[in-house]
């Protein structure tokens, strides 16, 4: 098994969104370019410009690169930085959701449509109305309703929308005040727009109090993922500047979600971003680190490991 080993070695890949379509596992990562750039908190070093999709039906074999799925040049509204994507399917079509900066440098979320899980995908002419920030994760519930969680602070600009509109000088709150929340919105039946205005996905502590801005080990930063296990909704995410993968649970899709703990400590490299999926009766965690580049933060590689649950539904912690 390739557990905890780089899955893709001919290019740098990161932010893996793993989904099962038609009985096969598909990985939708971002594609780190092999370029030399100085790192900064704005994320300028993550200057990705295309997506490749990878097909994996055997956990002992390296995934197959299905080729170019979408290029920045083919996204009419975008100017740069195709960051972490996700995918979904409905009515025989496949939808690739992705963030990028618009012509004004503001991160928006777009969608591209394809006839197969690997694409190629054709981008819509404009981004999703009312979308902002980064890291879309798409979850389809048992009743067929589909939801998108999204958002990332700092370079992802979520903190610049606290007032409800884009403020280029906006910053995350500090101190003992509620932290910036990720967002969640139901998608329209055609999967191309929001069916409602995005709302806060609130994460609370064991006493029901929203996590505070200065609680860097638990509060939200970026990299959301939604999945369901035994009737419970799991919202997992990265704490960003403390480099943890943590999770919270709820009995309703909109929350609030109660913080439950860390399941993956920091990896090699500055970012950590993941997905959780069940495939052939086994749960897996997909994540990335910088092993291939020996620690260069914008040259990452996708990995995976088995994930399991305790009897009470808590996730058994793993080691990178």
317 assigned to some structural domain: no
By DSSP bridging, strand 86-90 and strand 12-21 are unpaired
- Say which CATH number the domain at 116 has: 2.115.10.20
131 assigned to some structural domain: yes
CA distance 216 to 255: 21
pLDDT for res 20: 98
In the structure encoding, which two tokens stand for residue 176, read together?
């003992």
Catalytic residues: 15, 222
- Check residue 210 and report its DSSP letter: B
313 assigned to some structural domain: no
211 assigned to some structural domain: yes
55 assigned to some structural domain: yes
315 assigned to some structural domain: no
Give whole-number Cα distances, 136 to 28, 83, 209, 250, 273, in Å. 12, 10, 26, 19, 12
316 assigned to some structural domain: no
pLDDT for res 35: 86
Domain count, the chain: 1
User: What residues of the chain score a pLDDT lower than 50?
Assistant: none
Which H helix or E strand runs over 54? Answer: strand 50-56
pLDDT for res 48: 97
228 assigned to some structural domain: yes
- Range of the structural domain that residue 258 is part of: 12-307
pTM of the shown model: 0.97
């Amino acid at each position: 098994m390739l557990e905890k080993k780089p899955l893709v070695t001919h290019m740098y890949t990161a932010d893996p969104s793993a989904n099962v379509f038609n009985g096969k596992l598909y990985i939708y990562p971002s594609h780190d370019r092999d370029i030399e750039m100085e790192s900064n908190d704005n994320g300028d070093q993550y200057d990705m410009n295309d997506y490749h999709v990878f097909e994996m039906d055997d956990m002992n074999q390296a995934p197959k690169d299905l080729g170019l799925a979408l290029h920045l040049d083919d996204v009419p509204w975008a100017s740069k930085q195709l960051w972490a994507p996700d995918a979904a399917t409905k009515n025989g079509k496949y939808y690739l959701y992705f963030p990028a900066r618009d012509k004004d440098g503001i991160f928006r979320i777009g969608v591209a449509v394809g006839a197969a899980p690997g694409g190629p995908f054709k981008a819509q002419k404009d981004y999703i109305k009312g979308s902002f920030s980064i890291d879309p994760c798409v979850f389809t519930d048992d009743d067929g309703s589909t939801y998108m969680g999204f958002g990332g602070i700092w370079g992802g600009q979520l903190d610049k929308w606290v007032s409800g509109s884009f403020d280029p000088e906006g910053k995350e709150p500090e101190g003992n005040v509620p932290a910036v929340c990720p967002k969640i919105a139901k998608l329209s039946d055609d999967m191309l727009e929001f069916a409602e205005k995005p709302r806060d996905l609130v994460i609370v502590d064991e006493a029901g109090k929203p996590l505070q801005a200065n609680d860097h080990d638990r509060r939200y930063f970026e990299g959301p993922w939604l999945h369901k296990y035994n009737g419970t909704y799991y919202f997992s995410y990265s704490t960003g500047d403390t480099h943890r993968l943590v999770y919270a649970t709820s009995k309703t899709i909109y929350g609030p979600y109660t913080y439950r703990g860390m399941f993956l400590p920091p990896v090699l490299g500055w970012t950590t971003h993941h997905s959780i999926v069940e495939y052939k009766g086994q749960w897996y965690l997909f994540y990335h680190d910088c092993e291939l580049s020996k620690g260069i933060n914008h040259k990452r590689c996708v990995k995976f490991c088995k994930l399991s649950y305790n009897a009470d539904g808590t996730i058994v912690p793993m080691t990178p």
